[in-house]
Amino acid sequence: MRSAVFSRVPIAVLALGMAVSPASRAQTPDSPEAKEARLAWFHEAKYGLFIHWGLYAIPAGEWQGRRIPGIGEWIMFRAKIPVSEYEQLAKQWNPVKFDAEAWVQLAQDAGMKYVVITSKHHDGFALFHSKVSPFNVVDATPFGRDILKELADACARRGMRLGFYYSQAQDWHEPNGAGNTWDFGPDEEKDFDEYLRGKAEPQVRELLTGYGKVALVWFDTPRLMTPERAQGFTDLVRSLQPKTLIDGRLGAAGDYVTTGDNVIPAEVQSTAWEVPATLNHTWGYREDDQDWKSPGDVAFKLVDIVSKGGNYLLNVGPMADGTIPQASQDVLRTVGRWLKANGEAVYGAGPTPWGDEHGEPSSKGAKDLRGNPLFLAREEWRVTTRPGKLYFTFFKEPRVPFDLPPMKNAVKRAYRLADGHTIRVEVEGGRPRLLIDRPIHDPMATVVVVEIEGDAVER
């Protein structure tokens, strides 16, 4: 059978295939080597700023005097606003306080290493000057400025990586886009490929050709995406900017795994991953949601995520005037100050060699609200790593002395990361333990560096 198949292939093609294939595959964007090379900056970066901004910032959670529950950027869907009405918002779009430099400055102050902004969310409105659809910030608004261009320029000037969120499947503005059934009827009856060819693909092409180097494209909610349709986007991205990362929600394997919104896995994950997360309970600005996570919570989540091998993409929802809510800025800057002194435990740091500290599944067979086995998380401390170094981050005062988890490596010395203060180490029954000063130095999070013999922990 085999030889019969082979015999129909011209010899010249076979020879060419054998001569070219192994070498060239290493350079194709789909090879594991190329993917790892693309991911190098991502693994180093760990912490990024997500920005959800669009026309939904104007109603800010309220439509015709009614409070519309749910995430703010879904207001068009939840209130079933007809396209003809929603479009009118564009005429009010005049965010005179928008300052791209200030936004990038915030990301830098926060210690974030990349920025991802909604170039077009499900509502179909483009924050850039698209020639494909006039429903964009330059052609449809009195503001008339290309927001992505200004942000891309500011990022380039400041050495900040910039990625674009693009809603490839849902587009409530288009008759053939997914999601808008109140104007256009059921999705099954739409010519979805017409929408992909007519708007989504050409807009992604615009994003990858008109705005400089694009760090990543963040696709979302892959409804109606078949492997073939997803491949079209993958090919487009790879052909235009082969180093650009693709997230995990295209509808095909991207370069990394995207977890559920606000979902932090319980344990270490071996492939690259990122958790998209909110700072309150919405992505797009809602006036009634001022319930911000505390700096301590954000710092914990960041270190928790890094100790599990992931990245934290944390969102802000700017207001209609172009400013980012002050309260969210304050939280980010507080964590940023902590990172200035403690970033070595985060940027480019590896995951824990242990994992017991993350917690354990309930031994009593308890289930969570979704019926999944309940995981009882522990939140006292986390550990991240570099060759020869362990970074123990304490969020609560540990029992002192603090027994290090089991390892064969000897400890050379230990010190506080923020100020270099020596932490005494004693060995009891062959097991090293830390005599941590009490109360812990920084009640939010105190990092103790433990230098060990050898590069990695041997258990």
Helices (DSSP H) in 159-276: which residue ranges? 181-184, 192-195, 201-210, 227-240
Closest separation between CB of residue 314 and ligand H79, Å? 11
- Stretches 74-82, 147-155, 227-235, 298-306: which one binds ligand H79 (CB under 6 A)? 74-82
Strand order in the sheet with 310-316: 245-246, 216-219, 161-166, 114-120, 47-51, 310-316, 273-277, 257-258
What does the per-residue mask of binding to ligand H79 show for 249-268, with x meaning CB under 6 A?
A: ------------x-------
If one asks whether residue 201 binds ligand H79 (CB under 6 A), the answer comes out as: no
Under 8 Å CB-to-CB from 24, ≥6 apart: which residues?
A: none
Closest separation between CB of residue 388 and ligand H79, Å? 38
If one asks whether residue 220 binds ligand H79 (CB under 6 A), the answer comes out as: yes
- Stretches 70-78, 91-99, 233-241, 380-388: which one binds ligand H79 (CB under 6 A)? 70-78
Closest separation between CB of residue 52 and ligand H79, Å? 6
Asked whether the beta carbons of 380 and 398 are under 8 A apart, the reply is: yes
If one asks whether residue 71 binds ligand H79 (CB under 6 A), the answer comes out as: yes
Enclosing H/E stretch for 438: none
The closest residue (CB) to ligand H79 is 70
In DSSP terms, 290 is beta-bridged to none
- Stretches 68-76, 125-133, 389-397, 421-429: which one binds ligand H79 (CB under 6 A)? 68-76
Structure tokens that stand for 297 in this block: 């919570």
Cα–Cα distance list, 321 to 104, 217, 287 (Å): 17, 26, 13
Q: Say whether 35 sits in a helix, a strand or coil.
A: helix
Closest separation between CB of residue 358 and ligand H79, Å? 24
**Cα 93-87-145 angle, rounded to 5 deg:** 35
Among 94, 105, 221, 259, binds ligand H79 (CB under 6 A): 221
Q: Which is nearer to ligand H79, 67 or 97 (CB)?
A: 67
Q: Which is nearer to ligand H79, 77 or 256 (CB)?
A: 77
Task: Name residues contacting ligand H79, limited to 287-346 (CB under 6 A).
Answer: none
- Stretches 66-74, 81-89, 193-201, 372-380: which one binds ligand H79 (CB under 6 A)? 66-74
If one asks whether residue 194 binds ligand H79 (CB under 6 A), the answer comes out as: no
Closest separation between CB of residue 73 and ligand H79, Å? 5
Q: In the 3-class helix/strand/coil scheme, how is 73-142 assigned residue by residue?
A: HHHHHHCCCCHHHHHHHHHHCCCCCCCHHHHHHHHHHCCCCEEEEEEECCCCCECCCCCCCCCECCCCCC
If one asks whether residue 125 binds ligand H79 (CB under 6 A), the answer comes out as: no
- Stretches 71-79, 106-114, 292-300, 384-392: which one binds ligand H79 (CB under 6 A)? 71-79
If one asks whether residue 70 binds ligand H79 (CB under 6 A), the answer comes out as: yes
If one asks whether residue 172 binds ligand H79 (CB under 6 A), the answer comes out as: no
Q: How many CB atoms lie within 10 A of CB 174?
A: 23
The single residue listed with the structure tokens 């997803």 is: 230
Q: In this structure, which long-range contacts are made by residues 301-304, counting pairs with CB atoms below 8 Å and at least 24 apart in sequence?
A: 301/264, 301/277, 302/46, 302/47, 302/335, 302/346, 303/345, 303/346, 303/382, 303/384, 303/393, 303/445, 304/264, 304/358, 304/379, 304/382
If one asks whether residue 283 binds ligand H79 (CB under 6 A), the answer comes out as: yes
Among 59, 251, 276, 351, binds ligand H79 (CB under 6 A): 276
If one asks whether residue 458 binds ligand H79 (CB under 6 A), the answer comes out as: no
Among 55, 60, 73, 390, binds ligand H79 (CB under 6 A): 73
Q: Which residues bind ligand H79 (CB under 6 A)?
A: 52, 70-71, 73-74, 77-78, 220-221, 261, 276, 283
